[in-house]
Every structure is written in C-alpha cells, then in structure tokens.
Amino acid sequence: MAGFALEGVKVLDLSRVLAGPWCTQILADFGADVLKIEAPGAGDDTRSWGPPYLTGPDDMPGEKGESGYYLSANRNKRSVAVNLADPRGADLIRRLAAEADIVVENFKLGGLKKYGLDYASLSAINPRLVYTSITGFGQTGPYADRAGYDFVAQAMGGLMSITGEKDGPPLKAGVAITDLSTGMYAATSTLMALRHAERTGEGQHVDVSLLDTQIAMLANQALTYLVGGYSPGRLGNAHPTVVPYRLFPTSDGEIVIAVGNNGQFRQLVAVLGAPEMADDPRYVGNGERVINRDTLEPTLDALTRTWDGTELTNALLAKGVPAGPVNSVGDILTDEFAEARGTVHHFDRGDGAKVPSVAYPGKLSATPATFRRMPPRVGEHSRSALAEWLHLSDTELDALAEAGVIADRADLLARTKQGEHA
C-alpha cells in the first residue's frame, strides 16, 4: 500500500450502523487496515436495513443479500466475526487492540467495560492507542446514559426546528446528516490524535457525540441566537440572511437561484427584464432585500414563472448567477458531472454481482482515496485477518471456530456445500 496517506495504520472497528462505520470508511479509503469486528450471524445492524438488497449467486440459503444502507459505509474493510460475550472472544479483541493504532467504537456508555474493552483497559495494554468513542450524548454530561440515534439528535440539536416550511411541522433532513457529520468529525479528531501519538507515543480518548456535533453544525444559525438573542425558525427553502436564495417557479417546474452579492442580484434582474429593481432602495443591498423579502420574492416569482426552467438556468449561469435544477438522486448519479468526477465506483464481486459505491469526494493529488475492497460479508476475513494480525495457526483458528468464538464465512460456505452434496 505504498503511497497511501494512512499506510501501515491499523484500525480496530467496533462500531456499527452509520456514524462509526462512516468514520472508519474514511480511514480505510486512505489505506488504513480496518478490521470490522461483528457479531457472528447477523453482524452490523444495517445489513438488514432494506430493501433494497444486493443479491448474488454465492448468497447462502436464507441470506437476503447486502442492504444498500450497509454497502454505503463499509468498503475497504475486512470483517472478523467474534463473539464478545465469550471471554475468549474478548481476549482476542484485547490482543488485536495491542497491535492497533486506533480503536473506534459506538457502544452505549460503559457498554464495553464489562468485556474489559473500555479505554482504560485497552490503553493499559497499548499506551499509544487512539480510542475513539462515538455516542449519542458524550462520555459526560446529564444525558450520557441515554441511547442516541440521528433522528433524536436532529430534533434535540435544533436542526428540525429550522427545517421545513414556515407554517409546517419540523422536519428531519433526508439523510442521517447528524450521523454523517459525526463520522466526519470523528475521523478528523482521530487523525489529529493519531498525529499526536506518532510524535509522542501518547494515545488518548476521543469523545465524539451526535448531539455535540449537531449543535456545532448549526453554524450561523447558532450564532443568530448567541448574537441576536432569538431562535431562528423555519423558512422552507429560503435563507434566513441572504435574499434571494431559494426555489423559484418556472413554466415547467422549480429551479434554485442563489444570489450571494449585489452584483449577482443586478445580473439576475437584468436577465429577468427588470433591471430597475437593482436600484430600488428596498433592494439595493442584501440587508434591504432581507427586510423586504415579502415584496421582492413575489415579484421575482412572477418574472421567473414565464421562463422555461432549463432556459432560465442557462441564462443565469451565463451571467454568473448561481442556479440549478432540483435533481432526483438518480438524476445526479447519472449526470455528466458524476461521470467526469468518478463519483460512482463499481466493484466486481467475482460471482457476477456488481457492487456500487459512492466515492470519497476529496481529490488528493499525491495520496488519493482508493477503492480496494468491496464491503465485506460477515466474517469474510476472520481467519485471514486473525492469522495476519495475531499470527494464529490453523489449529488455533480451528479451535476458536469449533468453540463458536469466531465465525468465518468460508467455513460456513463449505458446510453449506457439504450439506447440499450429502
């Protein structure tokens, strides 16, 4: 893996669902060796979060295939199925942690302590270990004992209060944006702690929570309260402090027009055939446009409504005014932009199934993200990864498998085939 930004970094991934796996997928995309530790059998909760499911000829009887949800956050990892409830399984994890640079976990507060896999226990074994805990509400504070999900954090963290139509109910975002943001903050924080550990040999505990992240992601809306002393509300697709900046009607649908400065506003009204509006005292600056949005926006609506959406978009773009269509998910994934930027990657699973993935968005010129491994099946690498990290012999691995401490997909496939031919 020469040339990878995280070449040689070993990550023990004890997380599941989205925030944790999103963090470790980022690390894996840049060359870290990520072992995804899963419970034998069902594995990560999201494996069953479908439909849709991706199926293939080598699915075992009773398997649904891999859910699209699971596939979105687990590429470039190896799956090791270990029974943590068995003391021998917990001991395997401790031995892996002794070899690891990073542990990422998202168990409920204290959930790993009973297995001897908490930060205090593992850092005693490996003082240079970066141990990242992702929870709903953090390791401290009044809500630390609560379980947390993205939806709850969006609600409690203020996001839903500013999302939706002005007179409508609060709405969550269309993706688990708090989970995803938490995963990104966790990856950034982990890498900063890793840099410190590489310089000093000192590991640390990284505490990242959904609610902390969601509050931070309020950004300018949080400062509206802290500076202005009032809580912002819902404005639908409008912007609280930039006007015009929302959806506008056309003869065949709606488009986005996003005017960020006075020059763009002047170009907008010129394209719409009303250049005099740029000199109207009510609209001459952004502050005036925000105050007078109730008269400005209906006037603009009436003008844009007479245009074909594509023609207006192109006319505005030609004059440097940001504008665009409201695409469906399918529209953007098949857009020429996605093709040119390599947005969608397909793995060939070997059984004829193509496994799609959405690429890491950052384009690094010297150490780019790479897509080496498709998201693994449960226990797909149990034997090979344990043999590599811990130098376990076939005899030792056989004994662990027979005792139910580990499960290996290859073993299960072999037993299935033996049953078919019995």
pLDDT score of 420: 46
Tell me the C-alpha distance between 360 and 342, whole Å.
10
pLDDT tens string 88-130: 999 999 999 999 999 999 999 999 999 999 999 999 999 999 9
Q: DSSP code of 140? A: S
The residue among 244, 250, 218, 243 whose CA lies nearest residue 231 is 218
pLDDT score of 62: 66
Q: 352 to each of 70, 142, 374, 386, how far by Cα in Å?
A: 20, 51, 14, 28
pLDDT confidence tier of residue 414, bands split at 50, 70 and 90: low
- Do 406 and 82 meet the contact criterion of CB atoms below 8 Å apart? yes
- Do 123 and 131 meet the contact criterion of CB atoms below 8 Å apart? yes
pLDDT tens string 279-294: 999 999 999 999 999 9
pLDDT confidence tier of residue 318, bands split at 50, 70 and 90: very high
**Percent over 90 (pLDDT), the chain:** 91
Tell me the C-alpha distance between 412 and 408, whole Å.
6
pLDDT score of 409: 87
The average confidence (pLDDT) of the chain is 94
**pLDDT over threshold 80, residue 58:** no
| Cis before 244? omega within 30 | yes
pLDDT confidence tier of residue 65, bands split at 50, 70 and 90: confident
pLDDT confidence tier of residue 55, bands split at 50, 70 and 90: confident
Q: Which domains does the chain have, with CATH numbers?
A: 10-217+374-418 (3.40.50.10540), 245-329 (3.30.1540.10)
**pLDDT over threshold 70, residue 52:** yes
pLDDT score of 112: 97
**pLDDT over threshold 80, residue 413:** no
H or E element in which residue 206 lies: strand 204-209
Helix residue spans in 230-343 (DSSP H): 262-271, 286-291, 293-304, 309-318, 329-333, 336-341
**pLDDT over threshold 70, residue 175:** yes
pLDDT confidence tier of residue 1, bands split at 50, 70 and 90: very low
State pTM to two decimals: 0.92
pLDDT tens string 358-381: 999 999 999 999 999 999 999 999
pLDDT tens string 251-266: 999 999 999 999 999 9
pLDDT score of 422: 41
Q: Strand, helix or coil at 36?
A: strand
Mean pLDDT of 401-412: 90
**pLDDT over threshold 90, residue 76:** yes
Active-site annotation, residues: 179
pLDDT score of 416: 53
Q: DSSP code of 278? A: G
Mean pLDDT of 52-75: 86
Dihedral Cα 414, 415, 421, 422, nearest 10 deg: 150
pLDDT tens string 123-135: 999 999 999 999 9
Tally of CB atoms within 10 A around 190: 26
